[in-house]
Amino acid sequence: MNILDTEARMPQSTRRRCLGGAAAATAALAWPALAQPAYPNRPVRLIVPFPAGGPVDTIGRAVAHKLSLLWGQQAIIDNRAGAGGIVGAEVAARAVADGYHLLVCSIHHTVLPSLRPRLSYDIERDFVPLTFGAMFPVVLVAHPSLPANNVAELIALDKKSPGQLSFGSSGSGGGTHLAGELFNMQAGTRLLHVPYKGSAPAMSGLLGGQVQLMFADAPTALPQINGGKVRALAVASARRSVLPPDIPTVAESGLPGYEAYSWAGFMAPAGTPKDIVQRLGTDIGRALNDPLVSQRLHAVGAEAAPGTPGAFAQMLHAEIAKWAGVVRAARIQVD
C-alpha cells in the first residue's frame, strides 16, 4: 500500500488535521527567512587602522556620517592604529563577516605584503573589496633654491651630478618614499632618500634646505605651495588634480608613464554575503558622491572616486604587484 492509498483511507477529519499540521510546519520553517530584519539593523563599525585626525580617518568619518543619515542607523568609526596599518587590518580580518565590521584601507595595505611577508592576514584573500574611496594627489615639490622648474630640468640636473640631490619622505616604505623610488626607476635618476618620522617633519626638512625635494601628499604640500615657500614641479597622478589644477603631471612634463598617488578604500571581511557587499558598495558610493562629503574631502586634499567592487579588486591586485617591484628594485626594508 502506497502513501496515496493510506491518505485515501483516512477519515476526512484526520486528513484535515494532517494537512493543517503540515502547513503549520512549513510556515514555521519559512518564518525565520521572512522575519529576517533588513540590513543594517544595528550599528556598523568602520575600522580605521590609523590615528584619528589623519587623512584616512577623515575620509572614514565623512562617509560614516553620511551612511548614518542614509541608513537611519549608526556607522561608527573605530580607530585601531598601530604598525603602519597592520593592527587595524588584523582586527577587521578576524571580525564576523556579516557586514557590521568594515575596513577603511589605504595604499599601505598594498605595500605591506612586500615589506612584511609574514603578515597574519592576506589583503586579497581575507577581504572582499567594496569600493575605492578617494585619492590623495602626490605633488613633487622643490626648495626654491633648486635650479629646476620642471621634471625635465630636474632629471637633467640629477644626471649632471648623480646622487647629489635628496628627497624627504614621511618614512621608509611609505607612499611618498615609494613615489620617489618609482621616479628613480623610471627616470634613471639617483635621488637620495631621507626618511623622516611623518610628513610634517619631512616638509620642515625641505623648508630648511636639508633636502631639496619631496614627493608630498596634497594636504602637506598645498599650504606651502600657496604660501610660496616651495615650488611645485608636478603632480604624480596620471591626470591633473582638481585641487591644484594648474600644476602639470609628471608624465606630461618629462617622464611619460609615471603615476603615483595615495588613496583610501573600503573592504569587508571575506565571506560577507554578496547582497550586503553590493549594498555597501552602492551606499558608500552614494556617500562619497554627496556634495558635502566631496567638500570635506577637498579640505584635506582628497578627491572622491568611488567605483564597483570588481574595479577596486583589480586596482588592489595591480597596486600590490606594482609596489612589490619598487620594493625589490630599491631594496627597501623596514624594522
In SS3 terms, the chain reads as CCHHHHHHHCCHHHHHHHHHHHHHHHHHHHHHHHCCCCCCCCCEEEEECCCCCCHHHHHHHHHHHHHHHHHCCCEEEEECCCHHHHHHHHHHHHCCCCCCEEEEEECHHHHHHHHCCCCCCCCCCCEEEEEEEEEEEEEEEECCCCCCCCHHHHHHHHHHCCCCCEEEECCCCCHHHHHHHHHHHHHCCCCEEEECCCHHHHHHHHHCCCCCEEEEEHHHHHHHHHCCCCEEEEECCCCCCCCCCCCCECHHHCCCCCCCEEEEEEEEECCCCHHHHHHHHHHHHHHHHCHHHHHHHHHCCCEECCCCHHHHHHHHHHHHHHHHHHHHHHCCCCC
Is the pLDDT at 73 greater than 70? The verdict is yes
| Same domain? 243 vs 311 | no
d(CA 241, CA 222): 12
Domain presence at residue 178: yes
pTM of the model: 0.84
Kindly state whether residues 226 and 274 are assigned to the same domain.
no
Query: 249 and 179, same structural domain?
Result: yes
Q: How far is CA 275 from the centre of its chain?
A: 22
pLDDT-derived band at 290, boundaries 50, 70, 90: very high
Q: Let me know whether 209 and 221 are in one domain.
A: yes
- Indicate whether 170 and 192 sit together in one domain: yes
- Together in a domain, 180 and 210: yes
Please report the pLDDT score of residue 246 as a whole number: 87
Could you tell me if residue 287 is inside a domain?
yes
Widest CA span in the chain: 105
The pLDDT of 244-259, averaged and rounded, is 91
| 287 and 242 in a common domain | no
Average pLDDT over residues 177-188: 96
Whether residue 7 is predicted with pLDDT greater than 60 in this model: the reply is no
Chain position carrying cell 555597501 = 280
Domain that holds residue 179: 137-253
Query: Could you tell me if residue 21 is inside a domain?
Result: no
Residue 179 sits in the same domain as residue 233: yes
pLDDT of residue 6: 42
Of 235, 253, 271, the residue that ends a domain is 253
Q: State how far Cα 171 lies from the chain centre.
A: 19
Tell me if 37 is assigned to some domain.
no
Residue range 25-37: mean pLDDT, rounded: 49
Q: What's the CATH number where 206 sits? A: 3.40.190.10
128, part of any domain: yes
**pLDDT of 28 above 60:** no
Higher pLDDT among residues 16 and 78, named by residue: 78
Q: What is the mean pLDDT of residues 250-265?
A: 94
Let me know whether 324 and 277 are in one domain. Answer: yes
Q: Which three cell numbers stand for residue 302?
A: 582628497
Is the predicted pLDDT of residue 1 greater than 80, yes or no? no
Residues 182 and 323 in one domain: no
* 38 occurs within a structural domain: no
pLDDT digits (tens, 9 = 90+) for 123-145: 999 999 999 999 989 999 999 99
Is position 14 within any domain?
no
Q: What CATH number is attached to the domain comprising 122?
A: 3.40.190.150
Among 14-18, 158-162, 179-183, the least confident range: 14-18
What's residue 36's pLDDT? 58
Residue 88: inside a domain: yes
**pLDDT value, residue 198:** 86
* Single residue among 206, 226, 253 that ends a domain in this structure: 253
What mean pLDDT is reported for the chain?
A: 89
Q: How many domains does the chain have?
A: 2
For residue 77, how many other CB atoms are within 10 A of its CB?
A: 16
Q: Domain end: 253, 272, 294, which one?
A: 253
Distance CA 106, CA 263 (A): 6
pLDDT at 19: 44
Beta bridge partners of 269: 127
d(CA 225, CA 139): 10
Q: Are residues 211 and 249 in the same domain?
A: yes
Same domain, 145 and 281: no
Confidence tier at 245 by pLDDT (50, 70, 90): confident
- Higher-confidence residue of 218 and 81: namely 81
Peptide linkage before 40 cis (omega within 30 of 0): yes
